[in-house]
Amino acid sequence: MKRILQVLFIIILIASVNPFVGAQCKGFAKKICKLELIPFIHDGNYHANILTEGEEAELYKTFYSGQDYRLAVCGSDALGVIEFQVIDGYKNVLFDNREQNNVRLWDFKLESSQQLKITIKVPVGTGESEYPASGCVAIMFGFKEK
Amino acid sequence: MQRRQYSMKLITILSVLCLLVLPNCTSDKSKKKQQDVDLEDFLSEDEIFDDIDKAKKIFYALPSPLETAMLIKSAGAEYDEQLLNSVDNTRNYTSSKSLALNLGIYTTDLSFASLFDQTQTSIKYMEAARTMAEGLDITDAIDDETIRRLNDNLNNRDVIMDIISETFLNSSSYLKENDRPAVATVVLIGGWIEGLYIATQMVSDDNIQDNKLVDRISEQKLSFKIVQRMLTDNLKDQTGRENADIAELTEELEVLRAVYDKIKVETSEIKVEPDETTKVATLKSQTKITITPEVFKELRVTVSNLRTNFVQ
């Protein structure tokens, strides 16, 4: 019995320290990032994952004409500012948050429907920690009812 | 620290090699006229980078049921309850695939009814979506509290939209965080097909030309490319085992690919026009859609057959 309790204690300890165990970014997306979308309506889709500094991710989505969109890219405090770009099918960079004071949001509308790519990058930190920092990153979309 | 320096050196060396050897590593500015937007082309260059960084995460976003319903409404659709999947059918769905498809389908129906202020219907469809979610063992996505909140806010559409958005977020995050991304994909595809079904059924034969709804339906070719990518990505699980539901769905949607191949969607380059007052940027571009009435009718029949298969 004592041995079982010891094993359970170790498992709980590892789970509480290691962010990869039971990677849960739902709470972060729902309670923190989703608030950035207000007054837009969140579309309900879930795009979040644990990323490590230096890591990149891409998201592909079709955006439709006549709709007002808000894009929010959020990261856990441990990760610092998440860099993101919006790129069109011709590889043109339409938006780069590094050129806009590292904002987390972009509001836009389209004259015609387009497929766009959102690239995100967790910058490499300057900390002296032996291990690179990890944390949740969420990409969320909101729109307005017409 | 040493490992990081080594990685940086490796990336630099590979980048230089890439620039010197592979012409695809540089962007081709010369093709900037009108082009048929194709995710295959869009992705081809990124695949090179994927070879370098296997850890890169790729997300594909389909319009959610809520966005799908909104797109149909904003294109001029009117409410027709006859087009929704009857809630009496819930008892027919027992397999994982049918439960997932119809969770998406009922959520689109719920969104559609809510956007047209059909409050009692909305409650019925929320219950139907709850039955599907419970059948898939998605816990707490839609509970008694959700239904109570819906009942308490029947006259507040913003709150209703928020409830629908939250329940869908609960379902999709639960599935993805419990290593069931394939089921989440099937849910999304079910919702997307339902939107396509409702929209195509609302276009009569004598009203195909110059119809905003037809344009919206044709533009779904862009999202269909994403559907195909999602299916490919989820065909095998982490152990390499094939997912039978995804394999079956891929085969079923082949008929839709054949029809969408006959529709042309061309877009011009985008010019961004910022507005310092509203802080809303406008992406200025043009889209040319080519679809004949015959192809549209074929699309309508194809979508209807698929949807009938999904809801029976």
pLDDT at B25 over 50: no
* pLDDT tens string B229-287: 999 999 998 889 999 999 999 999 999 999 999 999 998 899 999 999 999 999 999 98
> Going by CATH, does the domain composed of A23-143 fall within 2.30.30.140?
no
The answer for residues whose C-beta is within 8 angstroms of residue A63's C-beta and 6 or more apart is: A69, A110, A113, A114, A115, A116, B283
Mean local confidence (pLDDT), B202-225: 94
DSSP state of B31: G
* pLDDT tens string B106-133: 999 999 999 999 999 999 999 999 999 9
CB of A137 closer than 8 Å to CB of A75: yes
Considering only CB atoms, which chain B residues are within 8 Å of A44? 64-67, 164-169, 172
Considering only CB atoms, which chain B residues are within 8 Å of A29? 169, 173
A1, A99, A131, A137 from B4: Cα distances, Å: 44, 26, 10, 21
Chain mean pLDDT for chain A: 86
B161 to chain A: nearest residue by CA? A41
Percent of chain B with pLDDT over 70: 82
- A25/B61 Cβ within 8 A: no
- A64/B216 Cβ within 8 A: yes
Which of A44-48, B3-7, B188-192, B196-200 comes out lowest in average pLDDT? B3-7
* pLDDT tens string B69-91: 999 999 999 999 999 999 999 99
Report the complex ipTM: 0.83
Question: How close, in Å, is residue A8 to chain B by CA atoms?
Answer: 21
For residue A129, the model assigns a pLDDT of 73
Closest partner CB to A112 (pick from B164, B223, B287): B287
For residue B21, the model assigns a pLDDT of 39
The answer for residues whose C-beta is within 8 angstroms of residue B204's C-beta and 6 or more apart is: none
For residue B139, the model assigns a pLDDT of 82
Mutation target to probe the A interface, by most A beta carbons within 10 A, among B29, B283, B289 is: B283
CA geometry: angle at B168 spanning A50 and B170, to 5°? 50
Considering only CB atoms, which chain B residues are within 8 Å of A134? none
pLDDT at A90 over 80: yes
* pLDDT tens string A2-27: 555 554 444 444 444 343 333 589 99
For residue B272, the model assigns a pLDDT of 97
- A112/B267 Cβ within 8 A: yes
Closest partner CB to B57 (pick from A49, A92, A95): A49
Q: Is B216 helix (H, G, I), strand (E, B) or coil?
A: helix
CB of B273 closer than 8 Å to CB of A110: no
CB of B98 closer than 8 Å to CB of B182: no
